[in-house]
Amino acid sequence: MNTEQKAVSIEAVTKRFGSLTAVDDVSFTVPVGEVMALLGPNGAGKTTLLDMILGFTKQNAGRIEVLGSQPTAATTGGRVGAVLQTRGLLDDLSVRETLQMVAACHYRHLPVEDVMARAGIDTFGGQKVKKCSGGQVQRLRFALALLTDPQLLILDEPTAGMDASARRDFWNSMHAEAERGRTIVFATHYLQEADDYADRVVLLGKGRVVADGSVADMTNGHGKTVEGIWHGRTEGLEPEEVCRRFGGDNIRFEYEGARIAFTTSNSDALALFLLERSLISDVRVTRPSMENVFFELTDDQARSER
């Protein structure tokens, strides 16, 4: 595996739809063999960016290179496979027939049975597409993406509609593909999924790159959440008073029904303080959600631009 080489290179790319700038001056590169997550809330520009990488739509400004070629040249040559949310499938074909039909359209492809085993769909190859669950359909899409033995896999929210165990199986298959040297770029809403399965994360917000690195880099310094059932009222202590004791600006809280969630970089000391005084029970200390990290990072960015 040559990590010097770039699978995807994006330089100062902007895409506008009328007056809306969906992707705004974005630059990053993806080295060969990397598993990279594009993380961001709805409307951040993830799908638009993936569509440009696949050559489905063209940028208004900037440069995109995929495996050393223009995006359309890389895609039509079968070197790029994609799992998209919208790709149409024929309901009345079986899973195996779908793969055989698409394989017949390609001059060069991997054996259908091998691809089925690798995507974990060999156990339901005879099943009609219309009888497949959301997770099974996504696996079929993954198998279709693998057919041409692509060097680069582009996945747009590939685990949509899967339960936790299907997600885990899916990502295990995906990692086996990454170990064969394939580059994988996937879009997701989920911080946990990005953290668990990507080597690197590019966080997008309103079409711009908000952060680029590991989830640990992004969450460090943004504190943890100490969350549990709040007994402060019966103890005569308000959460505002707890916040004053723990450094004012560096801590905040919100109620979630009978539970309270404090977020602070001083989470260990806070948890100890609350537990010693029986102010909280059923405590969980968790990392912040993608939404929290995202809002804090974009807040930091807005502050530094002021």
Ligand X SMILES: Nc1ncnc2c1ncn2[C@@H]1O[C@H](COP(=O)(O)OP(=O)(O)OP(=O)(O)O)[C@@H](O)[C@H]1O
Nearer to ligand X, 191 or 242 (CB): 191
Cα 56 from Cα 68, distance rounded (Å): 17
Q: Report the nearest approach of ligand X to the CB of residue 188 (Å).
A: 9
* Residue (78 or 161) nearer to ligand X, CB: 161
Q: Which is nearer to ligand X, 146 or 209 (CB)?
A: 209
Determine which helix (DSSP H) or strand (DSSP E) holds 292, and give its type and residue range. Answer: helix 290-305
Residue number with CB closer to ligand X (128 or 189): 189
What is the nearest approach in angstroms of ligand X to the Cβ of residue 7? Answer: 20
**Would you say 32 or 290 has its CB closer to ligand X?**
290
Question: Least distance to ligand X from the beta carbon of 11, Å?
Answer: 19
Asked if residues 186 and 155 have their Cβ atoms less than 8 Å apart, the reply is yes
Instruction: Return the number of other C-beta atoms located less than 10 Å from residue 247's C-beta.
Output: 12
**CB within 8 Å of 199: residues ≥ 6 apart:** 34, 35, 36, 214
Among 175, 201, 176, 207, which Cα is nearest to 187's?
201
Provide the minimum distance between the beta carbon of 134 and ligand X in the complex, in angstroms, as a whole number.
16
Question: Could you tell me how many helices (H) and strands (E) the chain has, helices first?
Answer: 12, 13
Centroid of chain to Cα 243:
33
Name the site residues for ligand X (rule: CB under 6 A). Answer: 17, 20, 22, 40, 42-48, 189
CB of 43 to ligand X, least distance (A): 4
